[in-house]
Chain A
Amino acid sequence: MQKRGYFFILDATLGLFVLVIGVFLVLSFTLEVPPQTQVGLIAGDIINFLSSTKIKDLNNPYAGIGGELWKQGLITDEENTLLQQAGEFYYKKREDLAEKFLQNVSMPIVPSQFRYEVWMDGSRLYPKNPGPEHVSSRDGTNILLTSKKVEFGIANKTTSEIWGPYKAEVFAWQR
């Protein structure tokens, strides 16, 4: 009867211990959630940049007005967005150009801790032939997020030839 107090103290301590363990486990699960939002934002940001920036607004020695592709007559419409230009190259079966173009315009804007891919109409335009490091990074990532958009454009203004509508898609994940 005199040791009843010790029993309740022991019981309360045990109870507190169980509670602390429980709270710790809950918080641990919460902390282990990977940063989905940031990866989600980067995929959306890339597709928004590509679909809202026009050739005429681009200051790029390869893809901008007066740049390499412009001088060669491969880019003719300054009103095309970057994604439309890539889509037009794809339509004209110049996937090599589409890859180089996308690499030139998108690499400077994507933080180095992320990897990404640009697809058009179910074909991967960038990178066209990914290296083993890229593939293993993609296969091994916990979170691979995508942002999609319908894209179309005019292939030839004189003959009113339209390309698309294609599904344009950007995949992004953390390295």
Chain B
Amino acid sequence: MAALRPIMGRKGIFFTFIAITIIAVFILVYTPTANISLQKDTSSVRSRISVLDRYLSQLEGQYLETVLRASSHKAILSLVYYLNSSDPPEYLSNFDTAFYEVVMYGTINGVPIDSITGRKIMDNNTISNWTTKINHTAKDTYNVNTSIRINNVSASQSRPWAIDVVLNLNYTLQSEIANWRKDNVTVTTSVDIEGFYDPSYIVNTNRKYSPVIKKSSVEFNKWNLTYAREHLRNAGAKLFDEVHK
């Protein structure tokens, strides 16, 4: 008993060692985890940003162009049917305003154009519809809010066989890690006019002759009365109706 007394008196040292050991274990357990977590976070943020960058590139470079071409094609088609439905047929007083309203909202003078033409063309196919759809899908896919504000849509003709359409917009993309904002983005496309009813014939013949626009294989300096007759005979509307019913 006498020999153990000094050892019992040093109980404090024993507890100190145990405490140091426990602290060492805690440090070993938590220190590497903190480092790995930081690396993982940085890498995941970088990866997420690159995914959203690719999405924006797809939105600007492919989606908006495809949507603009499709909606413009349908808007022009609707406007030709609209012109054909007026009695007597007459040209649009303001094509730019009419085109904007139809391509954006599917209406003309505030009335749904499909209800006037009796054809379901613009229903669910306006630019507003497509921007809403991409917002929903992107929210579901990437958990981001895509907000697209259309500044203007205009159509003009610089070449004989195509209509050039220009879309100007601003967009913002909001995610939990970063926000993107881009103003005055211009998207351009062209719509082939082949296959549309020719409005000039509809108006000038009072719907008696409504051919579709069709490129001729006859060279410009080879036209004669026979070719002209044959062209008029062949420029029927059958194919057009079959395609767009």
Contacts and interface: CB of A to CB of B under 8 A. Distances in A.
Contact of A1 (B3, B25, B63): B3
B32 A26 contact: yes
A4 B70 contact: no
A154 to B, nearest CB: 7
Given A4-B6, A7-B7, A165 B134 contact: yes
Contact of B138 (A4, A19, A150, A169): A150
Contacts of A7: 7, 10
A165 B70 contact: no
B70 A150 contact: no
A149 B141 contact: yes
Contacts of A160: 69-71, 73-74
Contacts of B244: 159
Contact of B137 (A15, A22, A161, A165): A165
Contacts of A148: 141-142
A161 B122 CA distance: 11
A162 interface: yes
Given A158-B243, A159-B244, A160-B74, A150 B21 contact: no
A164 B63 CA distance: 10
Nearest to A17: B21
Given A1-B6, A150-B55, A165 B63 contact: yes
Contacts of A152: 63, 66
B25 A161 contact: no
Interface string B84-109: 00000000000000000000000000
A167 interface: yes
Contacts of B25: 18-19, 22
Contacts of B142: 148, 150
Given A26-B28, A166-B137, A161 B243 contact: no
A158 B66 CA distance: 13
A150 B134 contact: yes
Which are the 7 A-B pairs with shortest beta-carbon distances? A22-B25, A160-B70, A160-B73, A165-B137, A167-B141, A18-B21, A148-B141
Interface of B: 3, 6-7, 10, 13-14, 17-18, 20-22, 24-25, 28-29, 32, 55, 58, 63, 66-67, 69-71, 73-74, 125, 130, 133-134, 137-138, 140-142, 195, 243-244
9 contacts: A7-B10, A15-B18, A15-B20, A15-B21, A22-B25, A26-B29, A150-B55, A150-B63, A165-B134
